[in-house]
Amino acid sequence: MTVLTEFVNVNLSIMAHAHIKHKSKGLGSAIEKVTEATGIKKVVEAGAKALGKDCGCSKRRDFLDNPNLAVNKIFYKGDKK
């Protein structure tokens, strides 16, 4: 196995473990990936479920993924997925 092949395999393994399967559509999707990878999302969802409320994660993600937000125009320009 070449060094390049080993490097690619290790990086693919890390990406799969971190749930990085596609590019973020915007800031909301990027934040969601971080919270999933760190376990924060599960804690928040469990807390919201215990209180009988919606955590609001999807609404927040969708709002922050808005292509008209300045941050998305700057950092996610050209990403039309």
For the full predicted model, state whether its pTM sits above 0.85. Answer: no
The mean per-residue pLDDT over the stretch 24-53 comes to 94
Domain ranges of the chain: 23-81
Name residue 18's amino acid.
A
Please give the full DSSP string across 5-35, using - where no structure is assigned. HHHHHHHHHHHHHTT--S--SSHHHHHHHHH
pLDDT at position 23 is: 79
**Which residue matches tokens 């749930």?**
19
Report the percentage of the chain scoring pLDDT > 90: 60
The mean per-residue pLDDT over the stretch 13-31 comes to 71
The CA distance from 72 to 25, in Å, is 8
**Which residue matches tokens 């709002």?**
63
pLDDT at position 16 is: 53
